[in-house]
Amino acid sequence: MTTRPAASLAQRKRQVVSDELTGAALQLLAQKGYDAVTIDEIVATAGVSRRTFFRYFASKEDVVVRFLADLGAGMCAELAARPAAEPPSAALRHAVAAALAPCGDRGDHADRALRVVQLILGTPALHARFLERQAQWRDDLTAELARRLDLDPATALRPHLAAGMALTAFNTVLARWSGSDGTERPAPLVDRAFTVLAPALDAHEPEPGPAP
């Protein structure tokens, strides 16, 4: 007898509880605003205990930030999957577009994403947490770009600058989409952003000159 089916069932149960907590929190936060919602209200709406809540999340901030963090968590994996010969601007454009794809959906899921993005960008504490998460994305993108370009991230500037530009594009598109209340679609905005950035992203880094 194998324990794998039981483990799989346990994982599915954990995911269900996590989804219920996330859904309850986001619904309340969208209705009442971040400061007005308590953890007690979230757990009551989800039908779980406070202990269960803290088994999944460290704070109510984590519920919201984790939802938005999922938009960027796959960027590095998307970048790594792009063809090796693809220019950095094209590879990064695809990676950013894939991360923002859920924002381009229609229906209830996209509407919830929009409200959560607006909540995060409009709440200083949540926005700060979101930017903290992006520090790890920047490191991951830098390492992957250095690998693709066969550069040493300890000495080359190009991977660091390119990762920063990609995240700037990500944040700019996210802000424009949320600021327009969803009327501006993410995909065309990503294309416009990388049209502007492409010359810099694809330029070769000059060799360092002799020290003065």
DSSP state of 101: G
Mean pLDDT of 161-186: 95
What CATH number was assigned to the domain covering residues 11-57? 1.10.10.60
Rounded to whole angstroms, the Cα distance separating 185 from 170 reads 13
Dump pLDDT digits (tens) for 200-212.
Answer: 999 987 766 555 5
Q: What pTM was computed for the model?
A: 0.81
Query: Is the pLDDT at 2 greater than 50, yes or no?
Result: no
pLDDT at 211: 52
What CATH number was assigned to the domain covering residues 60-202? 1.10.357.10
Query: Is the pLDDT at 4 greater than 60, yes or no?
Result: no
- The torsion angle over the Cα atoms of residues 186, 188, 166 and 141, rounded to 10 degrees, is 70
Radius of gyration of the chain from its Cα atoms, rounded to whole angstroms: 20
DSSP state of 17: H
Tell me which residue of 115, 94, 59, 113 sits closest to 170, measured CA to CA: 94
Per-residue tokens: 167: 């995240």
Domain ranges across the chain: 11-57, 60-202
